[in-house]
Amino acid sequence: MEQPINIAFLGTPDFSVPSLEALHSTIDHVCLVVTQPDRPKGRGRKTVAPPVKKAASRLGYPVFQPTSIKTESATDTILEANPDVLVVVAFGQLLPPQLLSIPRYGAVNVHASLLPRYRGPGPIQWAIINRESHTGITTMLMDRGMDTGDILLTAETDIRSEDTAGTLHHRLSHLGAELLLETLRQMKSGKLSPTPQNHALSTYAPMLKKADGHVDWKKSALALDALIRGVTPWPGAFTFHGDTRLKILKASPLQEPHRALPGTVMKSFADELRIAAGDGALLIHEIQSASAKKMKIEDFLRGHPMPEGTLLR
């Protein structure tokens, strides 16, 4: 008969929530949820609890929010909960060695890529931006490095042509929850065989910055389409029309030969906006100007005409 184990869960953003909810459906006991402190957010700078704290409170779990996970008091608090395993899903801090050594099963991390590719905090976005055909989830045993531990299990998913970072994030968060339960099931039954990563094949996916969304029209239309999808919903793809910042929300690439300067508005129908890229062109479907709501391109153009030859930068 399967025996329940004690789990200390460490996670912070929306991506972590399906995994915590999945654990709630099992016989195992979540003895403690560790998450980041509440932080000011938005224009009003109102203090907001992280999604994992909200989920933990709804599910009735005790919550611990240390400023730093590397302090002796943080280690002591987790030690007192007596976990058999640490489950870490997008927690946001590297765990110190003294914490990793506490549970008998170690620390299991759910990472949103097929390791060793796309280590780091931005694997979902960069897999789309780099036009990968597929990605997935890896569960691994954590060590001192960033996403460098031995691989436990993996699960793959295709990256669809219409996927944004938002849609792929949603799919991977649920795939991660499923793989976590299977990892713990095999771990308890002694069936797992951790596999060391091939560090020579590793790549790094840094956290996106706002500047990463700036469209470089010299790139190909396919690359720009991937960029727009990869930075949606954050930080968003943007370009400038004069001094006006325009956010491109949805577009599609066209394999259309031209001799126009990249960034130039091309000849098209009155309700279309075609922009010359370094190779091909980009057909814009949805756009948003500063301090305005998002608009379909035909509605936008009625109030903001962009004649052929207009240059975006």
Tell me whether residue 310 is in a domain: no
C-alpha separations of 253 from 131, 140, 214, 231, 283 in Å: 13, 37, 17, 16, 6
* Separation of alpha carbons 25 and 130, rounded Å: 36
Cβ atoms of 244 and 290 within 8 Å: the answer is yes
Tell me whether residue 312 is in a domain: no
Residues 188 and 84 in one domain: yes
Amino acid at position 85, single letter:
V
Residues 34 and 139 in one domain: yes
Domain extent for 229: 210-303
In sequence order, which ranges of the chain are alpha helices (DSSP H)? 17-24, 51-59, 72-80, 97-100, 123-129, 165-189, 221-230, 297-303
Residues 245 and 135 in one domain: no
Tell me whether residue 107 is in a domain: yes
Tens-level pLDDT at each residue, the chain (313 residues): 678 999 999 999 999 999 999 999 999 999 999 999 999 987 778 999 999 999 999 999 999 999 999 999 999 999 999 999 999 999 999 999 999 999 999 999 999 999 999 999 999 999 999 999 999 999 999 999 999 999 999 999 999 999 999 999 999 999 999 999 999 999 999 999 999 999 999 999 999 999 999 999 999 999 999 999 999 999 999 999 999 999 999 999 999 999 999 999 999 998 999 999 999 999 999 999 987 899 999 999 999 999 999 999 9
Tell me whether residue 311 is in a domain: no
Among 128, 138, 116, 121, which residue's Cα sits nearest to residue 159? 128
Tell me whether residue 146 is in a domain: yes
What total number of domains does the chain contain? 2
Cβ neighbors of 76 (< 8 A, separation 6 or more) are: none
